[in-house]
Structures are given as C-alpha cells and as structure tokens.
Amino acid sequence: MNIYLKEQNLKISSPGFQSRPLKIALFSGNYNYVMDGPVRALNKLVMYLEKRGMNVLVFSPTTRNTNIKHAGTLISVPSLALPGRNEYRIGLGIHGSVQKKLKEFEADLFHIAVPDYLGYCALRLAKRWGIPAVSSFHTRFETYLKYYNADWAKKYITSYMRYFYNSCEHVYAPCDSMAQELVDNSMGNDVRIWSRGVNRSVFNPSTRSNDWRNSLGICDNDVVIGFVGRLVLEKGLDVLVKTIKVIENISSKYKVLIVGEGPERFNLEKRLPNAIFTGFLKGNDLARAYASSDIFFNPSQTETFGNVTLEAMASGLPCVCANATGSRSLIVDGENGYLIDPDNIVLYTKALTKIIDNPKKRKLMGRKSYEKSLYYDWDTIFNNMIENYRQAILNHAEFKLSNYSIQSNEHIPTVANPVK
C-alpha cells in the first residue's frame, strides 16, 4: 500500500499530469434512449473529451430500440423499467462482466450523473477502489414528488441526496442559483459550476420561416407562444394549460406551438385543442421551430439549468419563465423576459399578454436574449470541466496521502500544487 501511494503520487505530481489524457468512467441512468437536457449535455461532454484525446467509458441502462446516436463507448448495464414512468430505466448495479470491464479500464475518475442505484453502486466502488468520484447535478428529483402525490418521501430523498453528494470530491451545478441551493442545503463539500452552452450555428434567429409557419396554419401576424420540452407533468403542463385558457378569453392575436413528446401528450391535446403539436424535433427542425415562434414560455420549476430556455434565447425570443433555478440565471426580469412566481397564473397571463400586445417590446427583449446567449460557449465550459477533473484527482490523492502519512507516521512526498 505504501509503495502504491508513492507511485500514484509521483504519477500525478509529474509535469506531464496536466497534459496527459485522462480515463473517465461516466455513469448515467439515461444516455441514449430518451432525449432530454441531461442526455444532450452528457453526450456533448463525452464528444469533447474524446476530441481532446481523453478515454471515456459510459455505463448506462439501454433499450433495444433507440434512434439516438450516442457519443463514445457505451457499456449496457442490466436494468428494469421504472415503475410509473416506463420510458425510463433503473440500473441494477455493477456486477459480473460490467464490473470486469470497469476494473480493466483503470479509470482515473468516476463521473456520476445521477444518484440512482447505479450511481450509488459506482460511488461505493470508487470508495473501495480508491478512485475519486465527482457528480453533476442535472435533475431536481425532490421537486418531482408533488406531481406524483409523493411529497411524503421528500425528506428521505433529500437526506439521501445530502449523503450522496457530500461523498463526492466535487458537485457540478449548471448555474449559480442551483449551486447556491445545493450549498444552502449542505449538498456537496465543493460545489462548482458546469454551465451549458448553445450551438449558435444551429440555434439563431435566421432560421425563422414564415413558409413553415403558414404550413401549420399560422398567419404572418399571429404571435406564436412556443413551448419546448418533454410532455410530462413536472414540466409545468398544468400551469401552461391554465395560463393559455385565460389568454384565450382576452386575446385572439396568438397561436400556441408545442414541441415535444411524452406520456402527457394525449391529455394535453384534449385540454388545448387549438394548440399546434409538432411532436419531437431535433437539429435544424427544432431550431426552425424556436425561431419561428415569437415568445418562449417555460413554466417548469424542476429544471436545474433550462437548456430549452437558452436555445430560445439564442433564437432571439423573449422568455416568460418560472422564477426557479432553471431560468433564474438566464433571465433578467424585465430585460430579456419575465420571471414569474411559480404557479401564479395571473402574473403569467399578464407577462405574456404584455409581450403579445407590444411588438416593440417583443423585439427589444428578443435582441437582449440573443446578446445574453453569446456568453454561453461550449469550448470554454468543457475546458473548465477538464481542469476540474484534474483538480479532483489531485485533491483525492492529497487526502489519501495525508491520511496514510498520519496513520503510518511516515513521510510521503507531497502532491504538486492543484490547478487554480
């Protein structure tokens, strides 16, 4: 053990450590079978890491049929459909051939994206094998409970999340407001920012198409309220419906465009019979839908960042969003949109009608959105993540070495200065 620690210390404190390729094992409950914000972010991360010469193995449940082309090498973990939400799956741990592949990979770092059972098993193995583990915070699971009549479980889930994130070297939050909530709730000893970027060559105002709008029955003078996201209860669909119902009684200048797919689509179509449903869109088709809208409406309280809000901003749209972590770091109230107290139908209605009825305000807010989106650059964000990875490895080695030195009362060489 003493020899191993010294060798590891020399390995990471050598000048080459800052440039040598890292081996990253990534664990996620969903990587290529349901397209959502976390999946997009994780695939972009893996793509960038491999472009920089890093070695990555991804461990996740999989399904037989998927149309999503994933990045990197994916190891399928045995899994079962999640009760009540069978489009998602829950991994059954890391055993047999899966554990063998992980062991042979000799990862420098475990990146755990979800604190589910697979994530718990990965964290446990990291501790047993002496490998540093970091986690990224993608989903506010505790906020989902009220939509499924399970508020009674909140204190237990919160307690587990606190244990889980406090066991990791770093916790990566997607924005300042989410990071502050994690700190306030004692979730993570070292909370850092892994922000999100937007591909402005895809998402930009120039992809607007009046021909496409007309093909959907939208007139040139109609103001389109756009919603983009998974059609599930936790995306604020009830607030969406109630707000639109009120607007129907006071304005005729608008159309509602709903982009996305999910288990609530049938119910949503019944409740909003005049809305236009496109189903799931991606790439250039999705970009055209954003830019061909006039206002973006996102009442979700469960987002940790709000990728769809950033894409809407890059498309030049004013945004009306819940005053929650997903949008609070993106929207400046009254400048590029409005932040509304969650569930306040009256204020949502006032904000939307204010923009519908004022073309000049709509244009000015849309320009401010676009300008603010320019700060979210993927290359800069991912470079920071690689530095964070190296920092986590160094910190972990320093801690192990100092602990061993105390226990053995033996001098062991110190680790080089960590990355700033």
Q: Are residues 139 and 186 in the same domain?
A: yes
Read off the CATH number of the domain in which 112 is found.
3.40.50.2000
Enclosing domain of residue 294? 205-373
DSSP-derived pairing of the beta strands 109-112 and 133-136 = parallel
**Per-residue pLDDT, 138:** 86
Residue 414 domain-assigned (yes or no): no
**Per-residue pLDDT, 413:** 44
Q: What is the arithmetic mean of pLDDT over 398-404?
A: 65
Q: What is the arithmetic mean of pLDDT over 132-152?
A: 76
Tell me, rounded to whole angstroms, the distance of Cα 273 from its chain centroid. 31
Q: Is 270 exposed, middle or buried (0-12, 13-18, 19+ CB in 10 A)?
A: exposed
Residue 72 domain-assigned (yes or no): yes
Q: Are residues 153 and 214 in the same domain?
A: no
Banded pLDDT at 2 (limits 50, 70, 90): very low
Residue 323 domain-assigned (yes or no): yes
Higher pLDDT, 51 or 325: 51
CA dist 20 and 37 (Å) reads: 30
**Per-residue pLDDT, 10:** 44
CB 328 within 8 A of CB 340: no
User: How do residues 264-295 score in pLDDT, each as one tens digit?
Assistant: 999 999 999 999 999 999 999 999 999 999 99
pTM, whole model, 2 decimals? 0.77
- Tell which residue, 334, 342, 338, 288, has the closest CA to residue 315: 288
Residue 44 domain-assigned (yes or no): yes
Higher pLDDT, 251 or 215: 215
CB 346 within 8 A of CB 335: no
Q: Are residues 119 and 145 in the same domain?
A: yes
Q: What is the arithmetic mean of pLDDT over 173-192?
A: 92
Residue 416 domain-assigned (yes or no): no
Q: Are residues 71 and 169 in the same domain?
A: yes
Q: Are residues 147 and 255 in the same domain?
A: no
Q: What is the arithmetic mean of pLDDT over 154-161?
A: 88
Residue 394 domain-assigned (yes or no): yes
**Per-residue pLDDT, 156:** 87
Q: What is the arithmetic mean of pLDDT over 369-376?
A: 95
Q: What is the arithmetic mean of pLDDT over 350-379?
A: 95
Q: Are residues 212 and 324 in the same domain?
A: yes
User: How do residues 112-124 score in pLDDT, each as one tens digit?
Assistant: 999 999 999 999 9
Q: At what angle do helices 345-356 and 237-248 cross, to 10 degrees?
A: 60
Q: Are residues 127 and 227 in the same domain?
A: no
Q: What is the arithmetic mean of pLDDT over 321-348?
A: 93
Number of domains comprising the chain: 2
Q: Are residues 343 and 399 in the same domain?
A: no
Out of 181-185, 193-197, 256-260, 415-419, pick the least confident: 415-419
Using the predicted structure, report yes or no on whether residue 87 has a pLDDT greater than 90. Answer: no
Q: Are residues 343 and 393 in the same domain?
A: no
CB 335 within 8 A of CB 368: yes
**Per-residue pLDDT, 67:** 74
Q: Are residues 6 and 103 in the same domain?
A: yes
Q: Are residues 135 and 11 in the same domain?
A: yes
Residue 209 domain-assigned (yes or no): yes
Q: Are residues 120 and 187 in the same domain?
A: yes
Residue 103 domain-assigned (yes or no): yes
